[in-house]
């Protein structure tokens, strides 16, 4: 396992800062500086382009480690890693349209993920934003993207909108620069958890992607395009890793707590000796234990270009849903065994409890993954 990118001492410093960022609703500026210095933002850039060349599978373990120290920091840099992973995925399949992402990441650019829109549950398959052609192969984007993590720091935004100017609509995916004009970052992030992610609203009013930064023009709706597959795969797998890392940390904190917490009824014995507490914590750990092999296997299959056929997308969304839902349950069990002290704002568990809840909002949500699996199992419901 490659751990030198995130040595324990670095993780300790990051963990120490997490509570303050959360309390002050502040961006993780110092974490980012240290992570950049450590080469973490180029972890998945191929070695021939100047990165550490980690596979997606290796990256999942790193993101679990980082999330265990600082969930919001891990979630925000996850968006950068998603784009690097997408570029690697399409490059590995002989498509070099996204190589610039790898080169720019190697040069220190920071990528954010500007996809979500208010009330848009088509997610990757349709956009309320407009992509207006410039006549030279480039596009200007107009629309409002919500929850853009990494807002204070990103220098490149991967985004998409729909070109409605032609005979047929086209979803246009492109990359705009922060300083290229037409970008307003609203400082409106004040959420119950993941506070350091600073996932602010981004208003695009003509942000321009030149032709060589437009990576796809595709028909709206479900698609097997490798670029969209790359987003889906990287997003679901790395997100699952973040929330798994949170759950693992919650178990560690709970273990420490039940060794300290003592029972008067049991003559001052630590709660770690209480059969009910032992059962509950073991139950959480067993659930958590099931996540690791699934994440590792599906990440390896992306790395090795295994063909899972029509099960790919349902299985990717299932990994994310299982990880985020399990993580939420594990953190709750950790809170229960740790007792009332975990209810105080100063408790790390109370922060993990708030942070882990964010997992249920990311796509694919619980309902859509069940719809997808029902379709695999039962076929589509015919129109009434
Ligand atoms: C911590 C965190 C970080 C995230 N980071 C990113 C990121 O980096 N990039 C990214 O693309 N996405 C990101 N997301 C977004 C996420 O993936 C979901 O898209 C988002 O949570 C919206 O989910 P929803 O469909 O349940 O919300 P919605 O129901 O769409 O609600 C989201 C917002 O839109 C408003 N809204 C809903 N419907 C309408 C309507 N018809 N008209 C006007 N307003 C409406 C709601 O009031 C609310 O403020 C992040 C989410 C979280 C929680």
Q: Whose CA is nearest to atom 47 of ligand 1?
A: 118
Tell me, using a 6 A CB cutoff, whether residue 113 lines ligand 1. Answer: yes
- Measured from the Cα of 194, ligand 1's closest atom is 1
CATH class of 111-218: mainly beta
CATH class of 8-106: mainly alpha
Q: How far is CA 13 from CA 26, 31, 306, in A?
A: 16, 8, 38
Model-level pTM?
Answer: 0.97
Phi and psi for 79 in degrees, rounded to 5?
-65, -40
Beta-bridge partners for 203: 144, 184
CATH fold label, 226-378: Butyryl-CoA Dehydrogenase, subunit A; domain 3 (1.20.140)
Q: What is the pLDDT of residues 292-349, one digit of tens each?
A: 999 999 999 999 999 999 999 999 999 999 999 999 999 999 999 999 999 999 999 9
Sorted by sequence, the CB contacts under 8 Å of residue 97 that are 6+ apart come out as 90, 215, 216, 227
Q: How confident is the model at residue 151 (pLDDT cuts 50, 70, 90)?
A: very high
The pair of three-digit structure tokens given for residue 305, joined into one six-digit string: 């270009």
Q: What is the pLDDT of residues 77-112, one digit of tens each?
A: 999 999 999 999 999 999 999 999 999 999 999 999
Q: What is the pLDDT of residues 204-237, one digit of tens each?
A: 999 999 999 999 999 998 888 999 999 999 999 9
The more confidently predicted of residues 166 and 224 is: 166
Task: From 146, 160, 173, 200, give the residue whose CB has the most ligand 1 atoms within 8 Å, as the site to mutate.
Answer: 146
Q: What is the pLDDT of residues 251-280, one digit of tens each?
A: 999 999 999 999 999 999 999 999 999 999
Tell me, using a 6 A CB cutoff, whether residue 116 lines ligand 1. Answer: yes
Q: How far is CA 322 from CA 295, 310, 319, 359, in A?
A: 10, 19, 5, 10
Beta-bridge partners for 160: 173
> How far apart are the CA of 117 and the centre of ligand 1, in A?
6
Across 180-186, average pLDDT: 98
Q: In the prediction, which pLDDT does 221 show? A: 86
Tell me, using a 6 A CB cutoff, whether residue 354 lines ligand 1. Answer: no
Q: What is the pLDDT of residues 51-62, one digit of tens each?
A: 999 999 999 999
The bridge status of strand 214-218 relative to strand 170-177 is antiparallel
> How far apart are the CA of 92 and the centre of ligand 1, in A?
32
Tell me, using a 6 A CB cutoff, whether residue 119 lines ligand 1. Answer: yes
Q: In the prediction, which pLDDT does 70 show? A: 98
Q: In the prediction, which pLDDT does 224 show? A: 86
Domain range list for the chain: 8-106, 111-218, 226-378
């Amino acid at each position: 396992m490659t751990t030198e990118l995130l040595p324990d001492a670095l993780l300790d410093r990051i963990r120490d800062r997490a509570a303050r960022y959360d309390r002050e609703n502040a961006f993780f500026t110092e974490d980012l500086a240290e992570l950049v210095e450590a080469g973490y933002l180029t972890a998945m850039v191929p070695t021939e382009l100047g990165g550490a060349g980690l596979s997606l599978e290796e990256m999942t373990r790193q993101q679990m480690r980082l999330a265990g120290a600082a969930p919001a920091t891990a979630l925000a840099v996850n968006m950068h890693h998603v784009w690097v992973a997408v570029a690697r995925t399409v490059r590995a399949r002989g498509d070099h349209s996204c190589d610039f992402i790898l080169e720019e990441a190697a040069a220190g650019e920071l990528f954010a993920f500007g996809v979500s829109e208010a009330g848009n549950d088509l997610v990757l398959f349709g956009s309320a934003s407009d992509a207006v052609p410039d006549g030279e192969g480039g596009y200007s984007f107009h629309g409002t993207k919500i929850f853009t993590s990494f807002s204070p720091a990103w220098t490149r935004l991967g985004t998409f909108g729909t070109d409605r100017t032609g005979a047929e609509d086209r979803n246009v995916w492109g990359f705009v620069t922060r300083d290229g004009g037409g970008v307003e970052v609203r400082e409106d992030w004040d959420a119950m958890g993941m506070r350091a992610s600073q996932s602010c609203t981004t208003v695009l009013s003509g942000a321009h992607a030149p032709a060589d930064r437009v990576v796809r023009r595709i028909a709206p709706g479900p698609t097997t395009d490798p670029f969209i597959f790359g987003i889906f795969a990287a997003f679901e797998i790395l997100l699952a890793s973040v929330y798994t890392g949170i759950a693992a940390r919650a178990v560690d904190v709970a273990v420490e707590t039940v060794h300290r917490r003592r029972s008067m009824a049991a003559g001052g014995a630590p709660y770690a000796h209480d059969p009910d507490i032992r059962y509950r914590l073991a139950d959480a750990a067993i659930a958590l234990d099931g996540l690791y092999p699934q994440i590792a296997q599906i990440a390896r299959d992306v790395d090795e270009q295994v063909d899972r056929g029509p099960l790919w997308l349902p299985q990717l969304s299932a990994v994310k849903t299982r990880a985020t839902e399990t993580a939420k349950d594990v953190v709750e069990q950790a809170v229960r065994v740790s007792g009332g002290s975990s209810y105080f704002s100063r408790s790390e568990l109370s922060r993990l409890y708030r942070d882990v809840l964010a997992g249920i909002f990311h796509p694919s949500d619980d309902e859509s993954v069940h719809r997808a699996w029902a379709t695999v199992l039962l076929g589509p419901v015919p129109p009434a």
